[in-house]
Amino acid sequence: MQTLANAGSDLADAGSAAGTVWPVILCGGSGRRLWPVSRRDHPKQFQRLSSDKSLVQETALRARDGLGLGMPVLLCNETHRFMLQDHMAEIGIEAAALLSEPQSRNTAPAIAAAARFVSDRDPDAMLLVMPSDHFIGNQAAFATAFAKARQIAQTGRLVTFGIRPVRPETGYGYIEQGRPVEPAGTGFEIASFMEKPALARAEELVRGGRHLWNSGIFLLPVRVLIDEFERLCPDILAAASAALSAARDSDGRLLLDTTAFLTAPAASIDVAVMEHTRLGAVVPADMDWSDIGTWPALREMRGGDAMGNVLDGNAVVEDVTNCFIQSTGRLIAAIGLDDVVIVETDDAVLISGAGHAARLDGLVGRLRDAGQSAADRHLRVHRPWGHYRTVDRGDRYQVKHIQVKPGESTSLQFHHHRAEHWIVVSGTGRVVRDGETILLHECQSLHIPPGVSHRLENPGKIPLRIAEVQVGAYLGEDDIVRLDDRYGRA
- Tens of pLDDT, residue by residue over 126-140, are 999 999 999 999 999
Confidence of residue 18 (pLDDT cuts 50, 70, 90): low
- 19 has a pLDDT exceeding 90: no
Q: What percentage of residues in the chain have a pLDDT greater than 70?
A: 96
Confidence of residue 487 (pLDDT cuts 50, 70, 90): confident
Which of 144-148, 167-171, 205-209 tops mean pLDDT? Answer: 144-148
Please report, for the chain, how many H helices and E strands are present, in that order.
Answer: 13, 31
Confidence of residue 10 (pLDDT cuts 50, 70, 90): very low
CA distances 269 to 107, 110, 194, Å, are 6, 9, 14
Confidence of residue 50 (pLDDT cuts 50, 70, 90): confident
- 229 has a pLDDT exceeding 70: yes
Confidence of residue 488 (pLDDT cuts 50, 70, 90): confident
- 12 has a pLDDT exceeding 90: no
Locate all alpha helices (DSSP H) within 66-106, ordered by sequence. Answer: 67, 81-90
What b/e string do you get for 8-30 counting C-beta neighbours within 10 Å, with b at 16 or more?
Answer: eebbeebeebebebbbbbbbbbb
| DSSP category for residue 270 | I
pLDDT at 253: 81
- 206 has a pLDDT exceeding 90: yes
- 76 has a pLDDT exceeding 90: yes
pLDDT at 316: 97
pTM greater than 0.85 (yes/no):
yes
73, 118 contact by CB (below 8 A): yes
Average model confidence (pLDDT) across the chain: 93
The contacts of residue 453 (CB under 8 Å, 6+ apart) are 412, 413, 414, 432, 433, 434, 435, 483
Task: Say whether 174 sits in a helix, a strand or coil.
Answer: strand
Average pLDDT of the segment spanning 401-411: 97
* Helices 107-121 + 234-245 axis angle, to 10: 60
- 5 has a pLDDT exceeding 90: no
Confidence of residue 13 (pLDDT cuts 50, 70, 90): very low
Between residues 17 and 268, the one the model is more confident about = 268
pLDDT at 9: 42
The contacts of residue 366 (CB under 8 Å, 6+ apart) are none
Average pLDDT of the segment spanning 352-374: 93
pLDDT at 30: 79
